[in-house]
Copies of this chain bind each other. A is one copy, B any other.
């Protein structure tokens, strides 16, 4: 997508052909800077510290992290260590494990001297597949937006989203925002309500940044506000991403997603999750019971990062000193609250039958 008039992906190889360049998302929205990764450790740090984030991009970065690891130590031991290091960074995103398994199984079959080359090639393939999957999600979701827009008599279609599931969460296009970009390209006026998404404010910083940079109108709201807007008929549909979706259609996504799904359900607003099928965990049936939820640092709640009047970006403390804090990173929206799941193969009802019909080769696994 475009930033300052130039096209970018969130991750790509630098001119030297092996260093992995990523957009440093901890610097957005106030600075647009690249970060260069040259080892598996640097890739793991980038995932853990959320220099990059978003389930699809985490998967691609982990794949490149393995490739970097193979440059320095392509032995079986080195492979095992790199996989372990990268797998331990973020427990909820299923793409992380999926991408590592996919690359590692190829590497185990390859001789050590070939492993770096094989890993780079496979990471590149995963990245290209993600771009294609997001583009396909955009096309399938576009049909939903087009249909809803027909009822708006020329007024902009109002889409509420939570957190950031745009191109910054993927390699390009995004998942939840891919249909929005597709509608925008097609000349359908779209207006996005972006939940701020405390504690890390990905909505206010990343979603608002990327939509603004691409020219899509966007209004930032506090996480508390979406229910009120839906009560008053001001939202036409919700679209969110997912970090892990069960075989039965339960959607694990950024903490707070469940509250918006409840409000959508209470007000008859369609609620969609958009995700590549690599995000589906075919082994899980009950998301609330079974999806591991990452407990993140209390500091994300006690402190807020922002730009002071003098231009410095710094953290300020916002919680009464001495308070304890809990900070689960994700919640699970039960399938009964999800209107449909938009995947690269089409839109499925949020149910075992619905997902199995789109992915018959996976549903039995």
A328 touches B228 (CB 8 A): yes
Q: How far is the CA of A259 from the CA of B321 in the complex (A)?
A: 27
A212 touches B323 (CB 8 A): yes
Question: How many identical subunits does the complex contain?
Answer: 2
Cβ contacts A207-233/B at 8 Å (1 or 0 each): 011001000011111111111110110
| Closest B residue to A204 using CB positions | B319
Cβ contacts A249-270/B at 8 Å (1 or 0 each): 0000011101110110010000
A228 touches B212 (CB 8 A): no
Q: How large is the interface on A (under 10, 10 to 19, 20 to 34, 35 or more residues)?
A: 35 or more
A309 at the interface (CB under 8 A from B): yes
B320 touches A316 (CB 8 A): no
A314 at the interface (CB under 8 A from B): yes
Q: Interface-forming stretch among A11-19, A236-244, A297-305, A348-356?
A: A297-305
A221 touches B323 (CB 8 A): no
A316 touches B306 (CB 8 A): yes
CB distance from A227 to the nearest CB of B (A): 4
Given A219-B323, A220-B319, A324-B220: A231 in contact with B258 (beta carbons within 8 A): yes
B316 touches A307 (CB 8 A): yes
Using CB atoms and an 8 Å cutoff, list the residues of chain A in contact with chain B. Answer: 28-30, 193-194, 196-199, 201, 204-206, 208-209, 212, 217-229, 231-232, 254-256, 258-260, 262-263, 266, 288, 293, 301-309, 313-328, 330-332
